[in-house]
Homo-oligomer: A and B are copies of this chain.
Amino acid sequence: MITLSVDAMGGDLGMDATVPACAEAVRDIPDLEVILVGNPDKLRSRLGRNPGTRITVHPASEVVGMDDTPANALRKKKDSSMRVAINLVSEGRANACVSSGNTGALMATARFVLKTIPGIERPAICTALPKLHGHTHMLDLGANIDCPPEILYQFGLMGSLLIRCLGGPENPSVGLLNIGVEEVKGSEILKAAAELFRDGPLNYRGFVEPDEIYMGSTDLVVCDGFTGNIALKASEGVAQMIMGTLREEFSQNISSKAAAFAARPVLDRVKTRLDHRHYNGASLVGLRGTVVKSHGSTDRVGFRHAIEVAVEEVRKDLVTQIAESLTGARD
Contacts and interface: CB of A to CB of B under 8 A. Distances in A.
Interface string A54-81: 0000000000000001000000000000
A145 interface: yes
B241 A269 contact: no
A132 interface: yes
A255 B269 CA distance: 13
Contact of A237 (B235, B246, B255, B274): B235
Q: Chain A's interface: helix, strand, loop or mixed, by majority?
A: helix
Given A132-B245, A270-B245, A237 B214 contact: yes
A119 interface: no
Nearest to A71: B184
Interface of A: 69, 130-132, 142, 145-146, 177, 179, 184, 186-187, 209-215, 225-227, 229-246, 248-250, 252, 255-256, 258-260, 262-263, 265-267, 269-270, 273-274
Q: How many copies does the complex hold?
A: 2
Contacts of A267: 249
A221 to B, nearest CB: 10
A242 B250 CA distance: 16
A237 B215 contact: yes
B249 A259 contact: no
A187 B226 contact: yes
Which of A186, A226, A240, A250 gathers most chain B CB within 10 Å?
A226
A302 B244 CA distance: 24
Contacts of A215: 237, 240-241, 244
12 contacts: A146-B187, A187-B226, A211-B233, A211-B236, A213-B234, A215-B237, A215-B241, A230-B231, A231-B234, A242-B274, A259-B263, A260-B266
B249 A269 contact: yes
B265 A229 contact: no
A266 B232 CA distance: 29
